[in-house]
Structure 1
């Protein structure tokens, strides 16, 4: 079906991401998620972003070719209760392809970032595991309490890994990484990340790697030591999740915190004429991230929008009612 667009301003629209070529990335975002970005490796795609370090661009409809940030500044009602943010979304959504281990790192909280990083937001984040190699794992906190002096010494001596808690991961797992938690995504993981709108990362350890120019990447040990939670972390267990079924769709809440909520929609309307009603969050925008399959969005004015695996769709807060037909899975993010 061909996409059709009218002059309506508040229709959902596709986004085109910014890409990042960090040294640990791979090729799966290109080969499996259809990302046509001419950089190699393609480590991350910033799917829905108003952050200056990687702006998303509108890829369909009336606003095609312009940055999401610019459109939201001109149309603050698209953001609902966040309309006074001058076009800055409170969240940032990414795909991450970890072909190699990411650095061991920590993020500051809002209070520290505001005071010491020129008023920026801190960074709490949630990971949804799209796929994982049989031996894939992540680093989540410390096995037991550690002092700042012990941590500093282990970083100086290159022995910090013995303190880091490693957790096996599997497809469909979810993890919430609160600011201050030492962490790392390890090789073999494909992740969807929903986070605060921040790019503040303090690297503690980077396996003594060098970049394409032969230089070691910068570490931020002093800042990291100021914000890291030194308490031992409980082994993160998967939360109880309940699928709710209705004709053509099953839904589940997979993460909720003060910054965002994330649902998973499993859609299958191939054998029914009943389209799925999309129930948006109250008085706020929503973001739809297609993680499997494909489908069509129908608006009540007769417009349609096709989406495929890897696509990201912004739904304005004042959008008209939409219905969905297809077979696949969506992460639905609101805040």
Structure 2
């Protein structure tokens, strides 16, 4: 039980993301999602992150201005029982605007990262496609089994593209990218990404591009070859998704793995004129990422107005929450 005198600290709060200007980024996160930055290109916003390479900050409430990592170190109980013993987020939530093709890359699993990367976490991730241009594609594994030596030669000669499996992408698609899967987002795709709390990426091939200083970006071929799954990948099919309805809200589970669970929620209280209760849990925090529309989150006598692109952190054991508005959002927990 929460002491009533301590109840005030178990409240939701808005987050302000860290921003990244990788060379393949564009303008959509600024123009369509209201992200404020002086960066010329905006490739990624790390919406909910305690990773030192891009920590997000609290943007509302009593912790406003503090790093999320600082708040969770002070209050590790916000993470919930499933994260007992941790004082940082086990996940990272991003928005990604692939205005140009991303590099062909692969991520290590936890075991490899722990042994070879000083105890870091590996990186399994999922993408929810927020929008995609007509004929947009992503890379997902190989057409056929490939030998390590063949792959190495292809990477060296710049002929690897003929071995890669390209998959058509459309809005609302979901892709689960297990550690070890060779992959890349293609130009014209905007995704919400949920992943392990890791920034380990082994870049295999980058089309010979140069950065703003005129240098080719570093490749990590040796490590990539050690962790890459070289067997052919079945072209990913969209999972069966079942919408569940309650008054004012429809929801569906779009991804569940050992690291995180992601649901898509469609909020619409315009006709029913009632607020929708959001269940809070002792087992895990929740993260809400608004992808469309706007609404209001009410807790006690306080509220948070949220809009497209906003991200909200809800501590485990949070005080009761209700919501109203017209919005599409992802809800993430561990």
Q: TM-score category by the smaller chain?
A: over 0.9
Residue 273 of structure 1 deviates from its aligned partner by 2.4
Residue 7 of structure 1 deviates from its aligned partner by 9.1
Give yes or no for the alignment of 1:334 onto 2:333.
yes
**2:281–2:317 Cα contact (<8 Å) kept:** no
Q: 2:20 and 2:126 mapped to 1: Cα distance? A: 19
**1:146–1:231 Cα contact (<8 Å) kept:** yes
Residue 282 of structure 1 deviates from its aligned partner by 4.8
> Matched residue of 2:89: which SS?
coil
Give the TM-score of the pair, scaled to structure 2: 0.97
Q: 1:32 and 1:280 mapped to 2: Cα distance? A: 30
Aligned to 2:75: 75
**1:7–1:62 Cα contact (<8 Å) kept:** no
**2:17–2:45 Cα contact (<8 Å) kept:** yes
Aligned to 1:45: 45
Q: 1:48 and 1:142 mapped to 2: Cα distance? A: 32
Give yes or no for the alignment of 1:20 onto 2:20.
yes
Q: 1:26 and 1:99 mapped to 2: Cα distance? A: 5
Residue 38 of structure 1 deviates from its aligned partner by 1.4
Aligned counterparts, 1:162-181, within 5 A: 162-181=162-181
Residue 281 of structure 1 deviates from its aligned partner by 4.8
> Matched residue of 2:210: which SS?
coil
Residue 280 of structure 1 deviates from its aligned partner by 3.4
**1:276–1:323 Cα contact (<8 Å) kept:** yes
Residues 264-316 of structure 1: CA deviation (Å, up to 9, x unaligned): 000000122221111235511000000000000011x2211100000000000
Give yes or no for the alignment of 1:285 onto 2:293.
no
**Alignment gaps of 5+ in structure 1:** 1-5
> Matched residue of 1:225: which SS?
helix
Give yes or no for the alignment of 1:320 onto 2:314.
no
What number of residue pairs does the alignment pair up? 328
> Matched residue of 2:253: which SS?
strand
Residue 318 of structure 1 deviates from its aligned partner by 1.8
**2:138–2:166 Cα contact (<8 Å) kept:** yes
> Matched residue of 1:113: which SS?
helix
Q: 2:28 and 2:281 mapped to 1: Cα distance? A: 31
Q: 1:76 and 1:119 mapped to 2: Cα distance? A: 21
Q: 1:125 and 1:34 mapped to 2: Cα distance? A: 25
The runs of at least 4 aligned residues of structure 1 exceeding 2 Å deviation read: 279-282
Q: 2:281 and 2:317 mapped to 1: Cα distance? A: 11
> Matched residue of 1:41: which SS?
coil
Q: 1:90 and 1:205 mapped to 2: Cα distance? A: 28
Residue 246 of structure 1 deviates from its aligned partner by 1.1
Q: 1:281 and 1:267 mapped to 2: Cα distance? A: 20
**Alignment gaps of 5+ in structure 2:** 1-5
Give yes or no for the alignment of 1:29 onto 2:29.
yes
Give the TM-score of the pair, scaled to structure 1: 0.96
> Matched residue of 1:265: which SS?
strand
Aligned to 2:308: 309
Q: 1:281 and 1:141 mapped to 2: Cα distance? A: 37
**2:103–2:184 Cα contact (<8 Å) kept:** yes
Q: 2:258 and 2:37 mapped to 1: Cα distance? A: 33
Q: 1:296 and 1:42 mapped to 2: Cα distance? A: 27
Give yes or no for the alignment of 1:148 onto 2:127.
no
> Matched residue of 2:9: which SS?
coil
Residues 86-106 of structure 1: CA deviation (Å, up to 9, x unaligned): 2x1100000000000000000
Q: 2:281 and 2:227 mapped to 1: Cα distance? A: 33
Residues 99-136 of structure 1: CA deviation (Å, up to 9, x unaligned): 00000000000000000000000000000000000011
> Matched residue of 1:152: which SS?
helix
**2:131–2:191 Cα contact (<8 Å) kept:** yes
Q: 2:282 and 2:163 mapped to 1: Cα distance? A: 43
Aligned to 2:3: none
**1:289–1:312 Cα contact (<8 Å) kept:** yes
